[in-house]
């Protein structure tokens, strides 16, 4: 299994996306606090890590932690808005540090839409320069795109643009907006769409990529909204292959280890043939409407086969459907036992506890300064800042950190 872990290396950013689900916190990482996390992924036998944020390129020790992770044998990726990679010297530095793969996020090829979503001007030019610079130094480039209310009607046109102007980009990832956290939670009215709003455009976009030999993945979209391309659902692929994911959040959530991929299932899902391999509706934040789900009456075997027989993913070993099916049923039974263990509070306590980053008086001071700057950006763009609760939590974390450092 090719498990990949996530490390949020910073939580501040040089853009101001109105639907950011991981906005600024006062937690900070040093090389030493990140090294512990890399070592843990190595110990768990993970294939690789993804350095993310906030905007990870704003961490001054990013090349050092990248090099360290590579030296431990991990595959190293990064998710970025591309602003700093627009500088060819920085792209060369990251390639020399061992970065193998970068996911550059671009929401729309229309400059006015991109600018509105980013809260900052001229980001599109920088992202295109980042694509070219990363490719030029041998870093593989994927494009990440958050599906939202302002781009959901022209996802396919943006793909046409990539194919025509940046033919070297071969892989694309869509993430359906997470309405549960950060600014996304409080700006749902501006940025959250209905599922039906993107269905046609996403299908067109997938068809164009498939027809031109490109690859793609789609995250947090129920299979009834991408039935023809169900094999490309990241949740479905993880359910089928039994993968887990660990995210080290640089906030109060700290470490989240995810081993199950189902979200909300509606009444309609009870009769749906794809339910066993579908992640359902990403319900967090109550942003999406369960009545939009409709059961699908197709056989799941061809979808599973497409995933387990994928020649581009040799990491999964059970490549025969009957063997997979027996293993899948066994995993489901195990998951039920694990759920009962968790209820009895024994299982979670056995999990290793890691401390993710720390809060210092200096990081608190910078956090408060950043909040003031973001307050001005919010007023300028008409976007609401995330709930104040984060400030209260930050102050509590700071007090706890101060107390710990005094002992």
- Residues of this chain that interact with ligand SF4 (CB under 6 A) are 222-224, 265, 268-269, 272, 274-275, 278, 280-281, 293-296
Closer residue to ligand SF4, CB minimum distance, 124 or 232: 232
Rounded Cα distance between 258 and 151, Å, is 29
User: Which contacts of 63-66 are long-range, i.e. CB under 8 A and separated by 24 or more positions?
Assistant: 63/93, 63/94, 63/96, 63/97, 64/31, 64/97, 65/9, 65/31, 65/34, 65/35, 65/38, 66/94, 66/97, 66/98, 66/99
- State the minimum distance, in angstroms, from the CB of residue 259 to ligand SF4: 19
- State the minimum distance, in angstroms, from the CB of residue 278 to ligand SF4: 3
Rounded Cα distance between 39 and 45, Å, is 10
- State the minimum distance, in angstroms, from the CB of residue 266 to ligand SF4: 6
Residue with the two structure tokens 């710990």? 404
Longest alpha-carbon distance in the chain = 62
Rounded Cα distance between 159 and 136, Å, is 21
DSSP annotation string for 300-364: SHHHHHHHHT-TT-TT----SHHHHHHHHHHHHHHHHHHHHHHHTTSHHHHSPP----B--HHHH
Upper half-sphere CA count for residue 235 (Cβ side, 13 Å):
23
Peptide bond into 54 cis (omega under 30): yes
Rounded Cα distance between 148 and 269, Å, is 24
Closer residue to ligand SF4, CB minimum distance, 51 or 293: 293
Closer residue to ligand SF4, CB minimum distance, 232 or 274: 274
- β-bridge mates for residue 257, sequence order: 246
Closer residue to ligand SF4, CB minimum distance, 119 or 179: 179
- State the minimum distance, in angstroms, from the CB of residue 275 to ligand SF4: 4
Closer residue to ligand SF4, CB minimum distance, 94 or 293: 293
- State the minimum distance, in angstroms, from the CB of residue 231 to ligand SF4: 13
The closest of 233, 237, 239 to 261, measured between CA atoms, is 239
Closer residue to ligand SF4, CB minimum distance, 10 or 272: 272
**β-pairing, 255-258 with 245-248?**
antiparallel
Residue with the two structure tokens 């993804």? 50
Closer residue to ligand SF4, CB minimum distance, 179 or 280: 280
- State the minimum distance, in angstroms, from the CB of residue 270 to ligand SF4: 9
- State the minimum distance, in angstroms, from the CB of residue 288 to ligand SF4: 10
- State the minimum distance, in angstroms, from the CB of residue 300 to ligand SF4: 10
Closer residue to ligand SF4, CB minimum distance, 23 or 179: 179
Query: Which of 50-61 are b and which e, b meaning 16 or more Cβ less than 10 Å from the residue's Cβ?
Result: bbbbbbbbbbee
- State the minimum distance, in angstroms, from the CB of residue 264 to ligand SF4: 8
The closest of 265, 153, 262, 156 to 216, measured between CA atoms, is 156
- State the minimum distance, in angstroms, from the CB of residue 336 to ligand SF4: 19
Report the SS3 class of residue 177.
Answer: coil
Closer residue to ligand SF4, CB minimum distance, 232 or 293: 293
Closer residue to ligand SF4, CB minimum distance, 98 or 262: 262
Rounded Cα distance between 53 and 57, Å, is 9
Closer residue to ligand SF4, CB minimum distance, 61 or 283: 283
- State the minimum distance, in angstroms, from the CB of residue 296 to ligand SF4: 5
């Amino acid at each position: 299994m090719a498990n990949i872990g996530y490390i949020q290396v910073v939580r501040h950013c040089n853009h101001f996306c109105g639907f950011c689900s991981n906005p600024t916190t006062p937690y900070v990482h040093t090389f030493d606090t990140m090294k512990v996390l890399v070592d843990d992924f190595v110990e768990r036998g993970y294939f690789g890590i993804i350095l993310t944020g906030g905007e990870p390129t704003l961490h001054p020790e990013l090349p050092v932690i990248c090099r360290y992770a590579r030296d431990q044998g991990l595959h190293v990726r990064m998710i970025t808005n591309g602003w700093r990679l627009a500088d060819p010297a920085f792209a060369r530095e990251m390639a020399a540090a061992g970065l193998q793969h970068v996911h550059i996020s671009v929401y729309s090829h229309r400059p006015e839409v991109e600018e509105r979503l980013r809260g900052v001007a001229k980001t599109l030019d920088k992202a295109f320069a980042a694509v070219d610079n990363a490719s030029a130094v041998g870093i593989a480039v994927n494009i990440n795109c958050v599906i939202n209310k302002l781009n959901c009607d022209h996802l396919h046109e943006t793909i046409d643009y990539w194919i025509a102007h940046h033919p070297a980009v071969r892989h694309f990832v869509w993430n359906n907006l997470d309405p549960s956290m950060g600014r996304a939670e409080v700006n749902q009215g501006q940025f959250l769409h209905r599922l039906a709003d993107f269905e046609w455009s996403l299908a067109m976009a997938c068809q164009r990529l498939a027809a031109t030999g490109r690859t793609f993945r789609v995250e947090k979209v129920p299979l009834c909204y991408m039935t023809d391309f169900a094999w490309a659902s990241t949740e479905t692929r993880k359910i089928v292959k039994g993968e887990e994911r660990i995210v080290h959040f640089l906030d109060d959530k700290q470490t989240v280890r995810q081993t199950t991929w189902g979200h909300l299932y509606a009444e309609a899902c009870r009769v749906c043939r794809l339910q066993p391999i579908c992640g359902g509706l990403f319900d967090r934040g109550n942003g999406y409407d369960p009545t939009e789900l409709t059961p699908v009456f197709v056989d799941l075997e061809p979808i599973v086969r497409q995933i387990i027989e994928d020649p581009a993913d040799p990491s999964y070993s059970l490549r025969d459907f009957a063997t997979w099916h027996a293993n899948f049923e066994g995993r489901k039974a195990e998951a039920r036992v694990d759920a009962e263990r968790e209820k009895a509070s024994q299982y979670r306590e056995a999990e290793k506890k890691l401390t993710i980053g720390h809060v210092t008086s200096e990081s608190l001071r910078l956090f408060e300064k950043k909040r003031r700057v973001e307050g001005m950006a919010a007023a300028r763009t008409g976007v609401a800042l995330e709930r104040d609760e984060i400030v209260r939590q930050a102050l509590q974390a700071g007090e706890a950190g101060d107390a710990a450092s005094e002992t």
